[in-house]
Amino acid sequence: MEPVCWKITAAILQGILLEAATPGKPGLVCYNSNGSHDDMNILTFMAGSAALTPYFYRFTEFGYWYRGDISSLLKQLRPLGLEAEQSLLSATGGVNTQRGALFMLGLLGALAGYLHKTEGMISATSLFSLAKITAAGLVQNELVLCAKQTKTAGEKLFASYGATGIRGEAQSGFFNVAQYGLPALMSAFKQKATLSQAIVFTLLNLMAHVEDTTILWRGGLSSLQTLQKMAQEACASGSVFSTAGLADLETLRNFCQEHRLSPGGSADLVSVTLTIYLWQEGCFPVAIT
Confidence of residue 147 (pLDDT cuts 50, 70, 90): low
User: What is the full DSSP assignment across 118-170?
Assistant: HHSS--HHHHHHHHHHHTTTHHIIIIITTTT---SHHHHHHHHH---HHHHHH
**Per-residue pLDDT averaged across 24-49, rounded?**
96
Q: What's the predicted TM-score (pTM) here? A: 0.96
By percentage, how much of the chain surpasses pLDDT 90?
A: 92
- Is the pLDDT reported for residue 146 higher than 80? no
- Is the pLDDT reported for residue 28 higher than 70? yes
From CA 13, how far away is CA 19, in angstroms rounded? 10
Longest CA–CA separation in the chain, Å: 53
φ and ψ at residue 257, rounded to 5 degrees: -65, -45
Quick: pLDDT tens for 55-69: 999 999 999 999 999
How high does pLDDT run on average in the chain? 95
Quick: pLDDT tens for 39-50: 999 999 999 999
By percentage, how much of the chain surpasses pLDDT 70?
A: 98
pLDDT at residue 87 in the model: 98
pLDDT at residue 153 in the model: 83
pLDDT at residue 148 in the model: 59
From CA 112, how far away is CA 118, in angstroms rounded? 10
**Per-residue pLDDT averaged across 139-146, rounded?**
85
pLDDT at residue 218 in the model: 92
- Is the pLDDT reported for residue 141 higher than 70? yes
φ and ψ at residue 30, rounded to 5 degrees: -145, -170
pLDDT at residue 229 in the model: 98
Residues in CB range of 229: below 8 A, 6 or more apart = none
Quick: pLDDT tens for 203-246: 999 999 999 999 999 999 999 999 999 999 999 999 999 999 99
109: enclosing H helix or E strand: helix 99-119
Quick: pLDDT tens for 148-201: 565 788 888 998 899 999 999 999 999 999 999 999 999 999 999 999 999 999
Q: Are 165 and 265 a contacting pair, CB within 8 Å?
A: yes
pLDDT at residue 228 in the model: 98
From CA 54, how far away is CA 220, in angstroms rounded? 35
